[in-house]
């Protein structure tokens, strides 16, 4: 039994390939989402400023206040999560590149001169 990507039978070269692009792209998306949720929360809060004036006792105002609090909580959670993810994703992209370079360098010492060896 073997993995489809483990050798020529599976149509792959048998080499593990790494690219920082998906990790960096995900970090960029996390950054953009963090920025956009902060903007959305500011606009949402601003849009509700003064809405309670003259509505004392209305059930719809209580519901609106509850919905606003719920959305502010959700937007804050997304903002916080994206803020925590972005540096981790960027670090992962960098670290894997460093590991790749280190392994390549370490293996280079075992390379045989051209035309010699097995």
Q: Which domain range does residue 79 map to? A: 21-48+59-103
Q: What is the tens place of the pLDDT at every residue in 47-104?
A: 988 887 777 778 888 888 899 999 999 999 999 999 999 999 999 988 887 766 677 7
DSSP per-residue codes, 75-87: HHHHHHHHHHHHH
CA distances for 3 relative to 52, 59, 81, 90, angstroms: 63, 61, 35, 29
* Assigned domain for 27 exists: yes
Residue 54 CA, chain-centre distance (Å), reads 44
* Assigned domain for 4 exists: no
* Assigned domain for 114 exists: no
Q: Has residue 6 got a pLDDT over 70? A: no
Better-scored residue on pLDDT, 61 or 109: 61
Total structural domains in the chain? 1
Please tell me the distance from the alpha carbon of residue 67 to that of residue 44, in angstroms, as a whole number: 11
pTM of the model: 0.66
Residue found under tokens 């894997």: 96
In this predicted structure, what is the pLDDT of residue 107? 73
* Assigned domain for 11 exists: no
* Assigned domain for 8 exists: no
Average pLDDT, the chain: 82
Better-scored residue on pLDDT, 4 or 95: 95
Q: Has residue 115 got a pLDDT over 70? A: no
């Amino acid at each position: 039994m073997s993995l489809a990507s483990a050798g020529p039978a599976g149509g792959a070269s048998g080499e593990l390939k790494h690219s920082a692009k998906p990790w960096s792209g995900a970090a960029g998306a996390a950054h953009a989402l963090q920025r956009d949720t902060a903007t959305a929360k500011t606009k949402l809060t601003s849009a509700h400023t003064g809405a309670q004036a003259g509505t004392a006792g209305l059930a719809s105002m209580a519901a609106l206040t509850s919905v606003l609090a719920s959305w502010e909580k959700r937007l804050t959670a997304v903002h916080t999560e994206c803020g925590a993810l972005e540096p981790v994703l960027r670090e992962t992209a960098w670290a894997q590149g460093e590991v790749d370079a280190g392994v390549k360098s370490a293996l280079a010492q075992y390379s045989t001169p051209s035309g010699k060896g097995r």
